[in-house]
Structure 1
Amino acid sequence: MVEQLFPAGAAMIMGGTGGLGAASARELARAGSDIALCYRSKRDVAEKLAEEFRGFGRKVSLHAADATDPASLEAARDGAIAAHSRIHTMVWAAGPLVDQVHLSETPLEKWKRAIDVEVHGFFAATQALIPHFRSAGGGSFVHLGSAGDLHWPERDGLSVAPKAANESLVRGIAKEEGRYGIRANTVLVGVIDAGMFHDLLANGSFDETWVAEVQKALPLKRWGKSEEIGHAVTFLASNRAAYTTGQQLAVAGGYGV
């Protein structure tokens, strides 16, 4: 008997053209899930990814979505449901590149922007999906959080603090919506040798001393791979995690141990 790895429908990836969003979508598609890929402005990147995922035999739809605009999120939801009949999982991988700066030196406007995108955006996206999940008999949220929730990394407050607020939202959703078959979990992301990390290296946010100190703190003496985040996302979205909710899965090389 062939295992049914995912519920019927598609995984909806918010921030699907970013490094970790794309990697998550790719591994979900490889594992057998159809994909509703959401992007804010990079339509060309989304189209290339969709072509790749269709090569795995998957149905892929594309949806423009702005995390700061609830109406945009609702329109993306409606488009995804129209294309796939059902969304079985929403993966939250949205979020901008943020400056590495001490809290004492963080401009209030940048703080507000980080909260607006990460916290208000995630909250609005979950509110848009919960009624659909209830009517469909269940669904799951997979939030890409930060391993900084385990051990505070200096100067990364614009990322870690908003994501920490979302950790509480994940637990709240798990507690309140479990009776409807809705699950919510987080992948705590460590330093991944891709996308955002490369951008921060290139702009000088991380120097050789930072690299040496962080690697010294890692039991696994290497950076993570984007597909390793995708593997964790795929597990939490799958039927194999059907009895897992309100949890954090750290994919961070042991950071914080």
Structure 2
Amino acid sequence: MSRFPPGAALVLGGTGGVGRAVAERLAAEGVNVAVGYRSKPAEAEALAAQLSNGAIAVHADVTDPTSLKAALEALPSLHTLVFAAGPTVVQRYLSQTDDALMRQAFEIETFGFQNAVRAALPLLRSNRGSIVHIGSAGGLSWAVRDGLSIVPKAANEALVKGLAREEGRFGVRANSVAIGVVDGGMFRELRAMGELDDRWVAATLERQSLKHFGTPADVAAAVAFLASGDAAYVTGQTLAVAGGYGS
């Protein structure tokens, strides 16, 4: 018997390192997955073809409500919305972060999250479904120069708590996974760009209880738990998957 209710899980940002792992984990657990993508249709289609249970790829630009509406209309049902969308975030001191960069971060991360939730809520309410937001553990102990990621995600943490409180009467749950450094996706891109050097890596590991970085699969396991019936009485919570960073 599946741990998940009937219906699909829409993974926004499904072609990213974490989003891909989430899609793979949910599909392996028998969930019908919709891989949401903005600019990588070939990668999304290839991933969907690899997954089981009739997975599909859907174009879903979180900054465009029309795109989100069309993506959701392609699904017969929805029980889980996973928000793993977001750009590769350059590292900047707050004093050097201009308005354009911060606006872009909020447009995608925060307004994008709000857009996605607003579009999905009618379906989630009908299925007593759940929302899982991928956040940042950087706010647990401020990660210097990572404000473009931490600040909008902190706003989303407030949104998650508000959604849990307001949507619980409809049976909808909302939770967040605050991730630390994950060896994949954005971390590797930033390393290749020279944004994160060996000194940064050593300093970050020093602030963690576990002296190694996580994997996208670690995050996917937490998402699968929060989306499943095993977490049926869990809402409004933030689960840190960060090796003890900030503890």
TM-score (norm. length: structure 2): 0.98
Q: Which residue pairs with 1:38 in the alignment? A: 36
- Aligned residue for 1:185, secondary structure, equals strand
- Does residue 165 of structure 1 match 2:155? yes
Shift of 1:65: 1.1
CA distance in 2, matches of 1:239, 1:107: 43
CA distance in 1, matches of 2:113, 2:42: 24
- Aligned residue for 1:142, secondary structure, equals strand
Q: Which residue pairs with 2:130 in the alignment? A: 140
Question: Retained in 2: the 8 A contact 1:5–1:238?
Answer: yes
- Aligned residue for 1:133, secondary structure, equals helix
Question: Retained in 2: the 8 A contact 1:16–1:46?
Answer: yes
- Aligned residue for 1:154, secondary structure, equals coil
Query: Which piece of structure 1 moves more, 45-54 or 113-122?
Result: 45-54
Q: Which residue pairs with 1:90 in the alignment? A: 81
CA distance in 1, matches of 2:47, 2:2: 24
CA distance in 2, matches of 1:195, 1:6: 27
Shift of 1:34: 0.8
Shift of 1:49: 0.7
- Does residue 240 of structure 1 match 2:238? no
Q: Which residue pairs with 2:61 in the alignment? A: 66
Shift of 1:36: 1.0
CA distance in 2, matches of 1:132, 1:6: 16
Shift of 1:149: 2.2
Shift of 1:60: 0.8
Please give the root-mean-square deviation of Cα atoms over the aligned residues, in Å: 0.8
State the AA in 1 paired with 2:197: D
- Does residue 149 of structure 1 match 2:139? yes
- Does residue 213 of structure 1 match 2:203? yes
Aligned residues: 247
Q: 1:177 aligns with which of 138, 163, 167?
A: 167
Q: Which ranges of structure 2 fall in alignment gaps of 5 or more residues?
A: none
CA distance in 1, matches of 2:199, 2:229: 43
TM-score (norm. length: structure 1): 0.94
State the AA in 1 paired with 2:19: G
1:105-116 superposed matches below 5 A: 105-116=96-107
CA distance in 2, matches of 1:137, 1:99: 38
* 1:225-254 C-alpha deviation (Å, 9 max, x unpaired): 110111001000101111000000110000
Q: 1:121 aligns with which of 97, 112, 115?
A: 112
Q: Which residue pairs with 1:5 in the alignment? A: 3
CA distance in 2, matches of 1:70, 1:231: 29
Question: Retained in 2: the 8 A contact 1:190–1:253?
Answer: yes
Q: Percent identity between the aligned chains?
A: 50
Q: Which residue pairs with 2:217 in the alignment? A: 227
Shift of 1:137: 3.8
- Aligned residue for 2:121, secondary structure, equals helix
- Does residue 255 of structure 1 match 2:245? yes
CA distance in 1, matches of 2:141, 2:71: 35
Question: Retained in 1: the 8 A contact 2:178–2:240?
Answer: yes
Poorly superposed stretches of 4+, deviation over 2 Å: none
Question: Retained in 2: the 8 A contact 1:137–1:180?
Answer: no
